[in-house]
């Protein structure tokens, strides 16, 4: 078993580190935020991710946390870079944290393999290799091993991975990184470094394209009287297509899809190619987040003075991540229309992202005296609400289901004016409840 150092205690670093500790490796995770290390040392995870806290607790003999670079690298055979690479104002990747790790590596580090897990533009590996050589760290190997962890299912996505992609300049470095993951039983895809970097961007861009495509179909369904759930089922049962990522809704968000698609578009543009499809995907997604406003206006007229409840704030269920969440765009549009916005989420804290919004402790509190509600996040709790009783607490029983999460027939029977995304009153098939695969996504 190996000793592995991780740089970055975010989604990618914590989940990957804890899972490799579960496989029997000794893992030390270094971060530069003292509060985060203090939390982890006391057994608390600084974000909401199912199963992760328990996994860390059960592997504390092999898993430690530190602020010290020297402590992290001492004796480590692998150095996993899992730092954030947020977009700059121009849409490019901000690689400052990556370069900080490279610059801080001790000169006498020996010959570990540096493994890039952060999502980076294609070509970054070659620049890092050149920087290592320029520092005299020619014995340090290099490999690209992108992560495909979906928030909310990240532990499962690592331990039951569809594949592990390993790109390297030297075959021996790739062999070593591949061997770390042998206990997973996943297919190992070996390639060169630029191809490994591209796999991550291409995978996320394709998944985002499916989301925007089905949202476009949903919008057409509304105009012609079709039901997007039935359409998606009929499409998805074709083995060439499949049902994953064919759920109409408010579009994609989070830390990965928006960022990775932007990286890919800029990569293409900087290389002299106009990626028209990705541009359209981004435009569709941006508009989709605003569609509930028009639906509300159809039922309520002018929204000035109307009380609108937002049910869910996180960009998806089972996470507290507010990055690029549709709730941010939707709340801003409602406030611009003069509406009063009240919001609830079971785990996400939207106070730093949503200004002018009133936050309450329960969905029932959000619905009280509301003129309408919008389901923004597909939290399971929403299906268990006593909707018939709660209708009596609302000023008007209008529900816009931005995730097609609720039972349309049951909501209408309970007396609600219910409208989903691309839904008709079809009594026929609905898309099966299959768990989404791990896409995506760098949770740096």
Contact status, residue 87 vs residue 94, Cβ threshold 8 Å = yes
Which residue, 282, 273, 299, is CA-closest to 374? 299
Measured on CA atoms in the order 118, 120, 126, 130, is the torsion positive or negative? negative
Q: Rounded CA gap, 288 and 150, in Å?
A: 22
Query: Is residue 344 classed exposed, middle or buried when 0-12, 13-18 and 19+ CB atoms within 10 A define those classes?
Result: buried
Instruction: Please state whether beta strands 417-419 and 63-66 pair in parallel, antiparallel, or not at all (unpaired).
Output: unpaired
**DSSP string spanning 180-243?**
HTGGG-PEEEEE-HHHHHHHHHHHHHHHHHHHHHHHHHHHHHHHHT--HHHHHHHHHTSTTT-S
**DSSP string spanning 248-286?**
-SS---TTTHHHHHHHHHHHHHHTT---HHHHHHHHHHH
Placement of tokens 């059960």 in the chain: 58
Q: Rounded CA gap, 249 and 330, in Å?
A: 13
- The residues assigned a catalytic role are 256
Placement of tokens 């992560």 in the chain: 147
Q: Rounded CA gap, 350 and 327, in Å?
A: 9
Task: Measure CA of the first residue to CA of the last residue in the chain; give whole Å.
Answer: 25
């Amino acid at each position: 078993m190996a000793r592995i150092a991780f740089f970055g205690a975010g989604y990618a670093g914590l989940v990957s580190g804890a899972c490799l500790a579960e496989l029997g490796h000794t893992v030390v995770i270094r971060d530069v935020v003292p509060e985060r290390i203090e939390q982890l040392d006391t057994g608390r995870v600084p974000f909401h991710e199912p199963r992760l806290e328990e996994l860390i607790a059960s592997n504390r003999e092999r898993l430690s946390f530190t602020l010290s670079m020297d402590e992290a690298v001492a004796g480590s055979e692998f150095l996993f870079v899992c730092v954030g690479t947020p977009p700059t104002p121009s849409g490019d990747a901000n690689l400052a944290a990556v370069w900080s790790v490279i610059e801080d590596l001790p000169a006498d580090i020996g010959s570990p393999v540096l493994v890039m897990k952060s999502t980076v533009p294609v070509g970054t590996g070659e620049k890092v290799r050149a920087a290592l050589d320029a520092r005299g760290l020619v014995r340090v190997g290099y490999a690209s091993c992108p992560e495909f962890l979906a928030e909310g299912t990240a532990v499962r996505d690592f331990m039951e991975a569809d594949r592990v992609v390993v790109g390297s300049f030297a075959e021996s470095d790739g062999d070593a990184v591949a061997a770390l993951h042998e206990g997973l039983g996943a297919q190992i895809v070996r390639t060169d470094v630029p191809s490994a970097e591209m796999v991550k961007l291409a995978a996320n861009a394709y998944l985002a394209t499916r989301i925007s495509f089905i949202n476009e179909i949903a919008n057409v369904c509304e105009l012609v009287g079709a039901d997007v759930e039935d359409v998606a089922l009929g499409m998805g049962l074709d083995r060439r297509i499949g049902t994953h990522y064919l759920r109409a809704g408010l579009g994609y968000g989070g830390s990965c899809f928006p960022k990775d698609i932007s990286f890919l578009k800029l990569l293409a543009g900087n290389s002299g190619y106009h990626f028209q499809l990705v541009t359209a995907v981004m435009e569709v997604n941006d508009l989709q987040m605003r569609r509930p406003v028009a639906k509300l206006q159809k039922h309520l007229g002018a929204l000035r003075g109307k009380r609108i409840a937002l049910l869910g704030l996180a960009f998806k269920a089972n996470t507290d991540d507010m990055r690029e969440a549709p709730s941010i765009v939707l709340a801003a549009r409602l406030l611009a229309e003069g509406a009063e916005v009240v919001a609830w989420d079971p785990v996400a804290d939207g106070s730093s992202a949503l200004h002018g919004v009133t936050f309450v402790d329960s969905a029932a509190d959000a619905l009280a005296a509301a003129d309408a509600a919008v389901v923004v996040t597909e939290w399971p709790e929403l299906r268990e609400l006593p909707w018939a009783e709660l209708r009596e607490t609302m000023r008007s029983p209008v529900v816009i289901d931005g995730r097609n999460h609720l039972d349309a027939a049951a909501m209408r029977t309970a007396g609600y004016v219910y409208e989903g995304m691309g839904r008709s009153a079809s009594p026929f098939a609905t898309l099966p409840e299959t768990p989404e695969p791990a896409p995506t996504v760098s949770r740096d």
